[in-house]
C-alpha cells in the first residue's frame, strides 16, 4: 500500500533522525516496522512566522518496496541515417527539440552561433576582466544558452504547457541531482549545469545527431513562402525541410533579418529595470526573523516581491540568493546585468532583478517608426545609456538603494559581486521616467513589506533589460509561422517561454510539430 500525506516539521524536529518516519507512522496509525520507506515528493519552507516550518509531501510505502526505477524512460535510437530536422540555437529549447527528434526517429542538425561550454569560459573571462564582448560567445550565446552560466533555476508556472516532471526527470537522467525532483523551487547551480549540458550534447551525438558550433545563421532562402535553405556566416548554404528557430531572447540580428525580409513579427510587452544587491545576511535576517547568522539547516533566504505603481507591476525577477551579478551584454557598447547562483548558494550577496512592466502600445510612442522592433530599439538605447554612464566599459552604473529612492548621487558604493566593477551614477535621473519613478516607489513599498530591505547597504545596478524577448515571432496552432512554411519559432526567442523548463517544453512541442510537417 502507498499513501501520500502532508507532514509539517519545525526547525527543532528537523534535526531529529527519522522524523519523517515517526510522523508518518503517527499520522497513518501504523507501526514504524510496517513502513518500508518514506519517499519525499516535495519539500518547501514556510518562514512567514517566527516558527519556521518545513512542509513535506511524502509517499509512505506500507509493506511494499519502493520502486528502483523512475516512471519516466528515455529511449533514444540511432538516427544517423534518418530524415533531418534543422535546429538553430542550442539553448534549452534547442537541446530538448534535438532530444525529442531522436526519440521520434529523426536526425537533429543543430547550428549554434557560440562555442561549447568549455570554450565559452575564456570569453566570459574576457568580459569580466578585459571588458571585451565576443558577440557570438558570452553569457547569452553559446552551448546551453543564457541559462548555462546564469544560475539554472528551474521554477516555472507553465504547468499547462507540457509535462514539467518529464523535463526534470530528463535532467536527472543527464546528471542533475535528484533533489530537483523534490524542492519547491528547484535549482541546479551555474557550477553544475555545464556538465549536464555536456552530457546532453554527447548523447545527441552518440545517437547520430549533429551539433555545429561557431555556426551563426545569417540568411534564410525562401521561395514561394517556403523555407528552402539557410546560409551560415562562413558562406555555407544548407538545404532544409523544417527549421526550429530557437535562438533565445537576445538574438537581435535574427529579428532584424526577419524584419528586413518582411517576415511577420509582432512587438511584445516585456519588463525592464535594475539589479539590487544586498548582503545575504540582511535578507536572511529579514526572512528568517533572526538577529545573527541563519541556522545551518536553512538555505540562503530568497524573496519574491510585487507592487502596483500607477497601474503597472513592479516586481522581483530571477532572485539569486547567495549569488553573483554578471555582465550579460551581447555586444560592445552596451551594459546589461543578470544574476546567477552556484549550487550551494554560498556567496555573501543576494541579488534580484527589480523590473517594471512595460506596455508595448503605450510606452514606446517615440519608437513607432521601428514597427515590431520598437521595444528592441528602446532596450538598445537604455543599454547604451548604461554603457556611457558606467564609463564606456563593462563597469556598470550604480547607486545605493536609499540614495536612488531619494534622488541623490551616492558618494561611495558598497562592495559588490559584479566583477567588472561599479561606477557611481545618478540612475534615478538616467532611467526613463516610466521605469525610474515606478522603481523608486516600488522600493519604498518593498521596504514596508520587508523591514530592513530599504537600506543604503544595498546597491542598485543597471540595467536589467533582458528579462524576456521584446519581439514575438508569430505561429499558427500547428506551431509553424503563418507565412513561411517550414519555419517553427520556438522558446524564449519566439516569445513562447520564460525560463529553462518552459523553453525545454516548447522545444519538445516544436520538434513534434516539425516532424508532423514531414
Banded model confidence at residue 80, pLDDT cuts 50, 70, 90: very high
pLDDT of residue 22: 97
* Structural domain 2-62, CATH architecture: 2-Layer Sandwich (3.30)
Q: For the chain, which residues make up each domain, given as ranges? A: 2-62, 84-265+473-517, 268-464
pLDDT of residue 69: 83
Residues 206-255: tens digit of each pLDDT? 999 999 999 999 999 999 999 999 999 999 999 999 999 999 999 999 99
Residue 158 has pLDDT above 70, yes or no: no
Say if residues 281 and 293 touch (Cβ distance below 8 Å). yes
Q: State what percent of residues in the chain have pLDDT above 90.
A: 92
Banded model confidence at residue 189, pLDDT cuts 50, 70, 90: confident
pLDDT of residue 71: 86
* CATH topology identical between 2-62 and 84-265+473-517: no
The strand ranges marked E within 395-434 are 396-400, 422-424
Residue 186 has pLDDT above 80, yes or no: yes
Here the cell at position 86 is 534543422
* Structural domain 84-265+473-517, CATH architecture: 3-Layer(bba) Sandwich (3.50)
Query: Which of 373, 342, 339 shows the shortest CA–CA distance to 464?
Result: 339
Instruction: Identify the H or E element spanning 382.
Output: helix 374-389
Model confidence, pTM:
0.95
171, HSE (Cβ side, Cα atoms, 13 Å) = 27
Mean pLDDT across 152-173: 81
Banded model confidence at residue 278, pLDDT cuts 50, 70, 90: very high
Dist. CA 469–CA 492, nearest whole Å: 7
Neighbours of 463 (CB within 10 A): 29
Higher pLDDT, 151 or 301: 301
Banded model confidence at residue 510, pLDDT cuts 50, 70, 90: very high
Average pLDDT along the chain: 95
Mean pLDDT across 359-363: 93
Here the cell at position 349 is 550577496
Whether the bond between 463 and the residue before it is cis, its omega within 30 degrees of 0, is yes
Amino acid at each position: 500500500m502507498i499513501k501520500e500525506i502532508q507532514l509539517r516539521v519545525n526547525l527543532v524536529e528537523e534535526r531529529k533522525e527519522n522524523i519523517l518516519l515517526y510522523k508518518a507512522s503517527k499520522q497513518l496509525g501504523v507501526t514504524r516496522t510496517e513502513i518500508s520507506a518514506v519517499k519525499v515528493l516535495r519539500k518547501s519552507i514556510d518562514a512567514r512566522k517566527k516558527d519556521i516550518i518545513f512542509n513535506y509531501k511524502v509517499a509512505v510505502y506500507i509493506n511494499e518496496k519502493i520502486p528502483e526505477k523512475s516512471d519516466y524512460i528515455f529511449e533514444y535510437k540511432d538516427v544517423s541515417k534518418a530524415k533531418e530536422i534543422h535546429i538553430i540555437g542550442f539553448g534549452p529549447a534547442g537541446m530538448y527539440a534535438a532530444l525529442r527528434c531522436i526519440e521520434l526517429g529523426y536526425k537533429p542538425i543543430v547550428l549554434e552561433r557560440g562555442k561549447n561550454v568549455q570554450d565559452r569560459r575564456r570569453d566570459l573571462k574576457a568580459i569580466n576582466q578585459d571588458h571585451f564582448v565576443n558577440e557570438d560567445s558570452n553569457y547569452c550565446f553559446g552551448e546551453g544558452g543564457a541559462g548555462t552560466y546564469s544560475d539554472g533555476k528551474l521554477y516555472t508556472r507553465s504547468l499547462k504547457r507540457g509535462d514539467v516532471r518529464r523535463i526534470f526527470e530528463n535532467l536527472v537522467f543527464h546528471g542533475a541531482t535528484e533533489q530537483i525532483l523534490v524542492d519547491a523551487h528547484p535549482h541546479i547551480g551555474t557550477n553544475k549545469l555545464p556538465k549536464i549540458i555536456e552530457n546532453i550534447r554527447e548523447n545527441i551525438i552518440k545517437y547520430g545527431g549533429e551539433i555545429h558550433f561557431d555556426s551563426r545563421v545569417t540568411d534564410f532562402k525562401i521561395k514561394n513562402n517556403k523555407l528552402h535553405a539557410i546560409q551560415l556566416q562562413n558562406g555555407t548554404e544548407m538545404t532544409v525541410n523544417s527549421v526550429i528557430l530557437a535562438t533565445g531572447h537576445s538574438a537581435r540580428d535574427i529579428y532584424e533579418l526577419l524584419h528586413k525580409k518582411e517576415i511577420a513579427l509582432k512587438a511584445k510587452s516585456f519588463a525592464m529595470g535594475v539589479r539590487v544587491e544586498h548582503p545575504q545576511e540582511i535578507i536572511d535576517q529579514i526572512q528568517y526573523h533572526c538577529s545573527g547568522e541563519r541556522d545551518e539547516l536553512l538555505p540562503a533566504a530568497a524573496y519574491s516581491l510585487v507592487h502596483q505603481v500607477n497601474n503597472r507591476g513592479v516586481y522581483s525577477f530571477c532572485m539569486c540568493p547567495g549569488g553573483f551579478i554578471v555582465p550579460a551584454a551581447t555586444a560592445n557598447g552596451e551594459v546589461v546585468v543578470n544574476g546567477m547562483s552556484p549550487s550551494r548558494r554560498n556567496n555573501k550577496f543576494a541579488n534580484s532583478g527589480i523590473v517594471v512592466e512595460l506596455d508595448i502600445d503605450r510606452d514606446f510612442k517615440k519608437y513607432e517608426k521601428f514597427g515590431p522592433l520598437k521595444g528592441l530599439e528602446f532596450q538598445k538605447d537604455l543599454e547604451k545609456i548604461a554603457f556611457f554612464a558606467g564609463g564606456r566599459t563593462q563597469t556598470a552604473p550604480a547607486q545605493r538603494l536609499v540614495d536612488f529612492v531619494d534622488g541623490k548621487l551616492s558618494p561611495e558604493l558598497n562592495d559588490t559581486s559584479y566583477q567588472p566593477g561599479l561606477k557611481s551614477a545618478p540612475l534615478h535621473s538616467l532611467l526613463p521616467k516610466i521605469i525610474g519613478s515606478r522603481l523608486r516607489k516600488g522600493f519604498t513599498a518593498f521596504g514596508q513589506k520587508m523591514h530592513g530591505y530599504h537600506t543604503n547597504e544595498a546597491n542598485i545596478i543597471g540595467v536589467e533589460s533582458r528579462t524576456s524577448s521584446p519581439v514575438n515571432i508569430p505561429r499558427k496552432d500547428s506551431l509553424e509561422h503563418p507565412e513561411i512554411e517550414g519555419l517553427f519559432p520556438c522558446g524564449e526567442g519566439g516569445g513562447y517561454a520564460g525560463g529553462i523548463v518552459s523553453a525545454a517544453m516548447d522545444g519538445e512541442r516544436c520538434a513534434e510539430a516539425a516532424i508532423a510537417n514531414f
